Amino acid sequence: MAKGKNEWFDWFKALLIALGLAFLVRTFLFTPIIVDGPSMAPTLHDRDQMIVNKFTYRFNEPDRFDIVVFHANDQKDFIKRVIALPGEHVAYKDNILYINGKPIEEKFFTENDISIETNDFTLEEITGNYSTVPEGHVFVLGDNRTNSTDSRLLGPISIEQIVGKASVIYWPFERLQFIGE
């Protein structure tokens, strides 16, 4: 009988260790997210399931064109693309992105992507307060510019609001891919 109790205790310990490790991984390293809506089309599709890398920004700042998940409010996280970094001026004119007055190619779009249609704007016009993205913030846009709640409405996003970098689409399986620039 003592052997049976010992075996159950060993299983219980193994289960507790596995749950503890899963908690630590999800809390500090990676977390799943489901894309909700069309704002990142054509890059991401509604209901794509992804892994978010939560530790990369503990050591590095976001880069231009990273796809990030951030806390939009207490109940909702958004997924968008970083367009401008702290200290940069951002503008769109005739569907061309300008950073600090220089045109920047958005290589993630193809010529067939109709969702890149972006209304002309400057940072000053949409935020009213800023001539450049404030320190500790980034400017984000959805890839589907005609159907996205992003920095044009929310203003610059604090780096502290960022949960992590979207790294991998794992479901649906036929869309399995690493996300990069």
Query: Who contacts 28 (Cβ-Cβ below 8 Å, separation ≥6)?
Result: 54, 55
**Residue 44 and residue 52 in contact, taking contact as beta carbons nearer than 8 Å:** no
**Residue 163 and residue 95 in contact, taking contact as beta carbons nearer than 8 Å:** no
**Tokens 């044009």 belong to residue:** 152
| Count of positions (residues) in the chain | 181
- Please pick, among 54, 80, 148, 165, the residue that the annotation labels catalytic: 80
Q: How many Cα atoms within 13 Å fall on the side-chain side of residue 98?
A: 14
- Please pick, among 3, 13, 39, 158, the residue that the annotation labels catalytic: 39
Encoding tokens for residue 15? 């289960």
Question: From CA 9, how far away is CA 3, in angstroms rounded?
Answer: 10
Secondary structure element (H or E) that encloses residue 2, with its range:
helix 2-28
Has 39 been annotated as catalytic?
yes
Q: Based on the number of CB atoms within 10 Å of its own CB, is 181 exposed (0-12), middle (13-18) or buried (19 or more)?
A: exposed
Q: Which residues are catalytic?
A: 39, 80
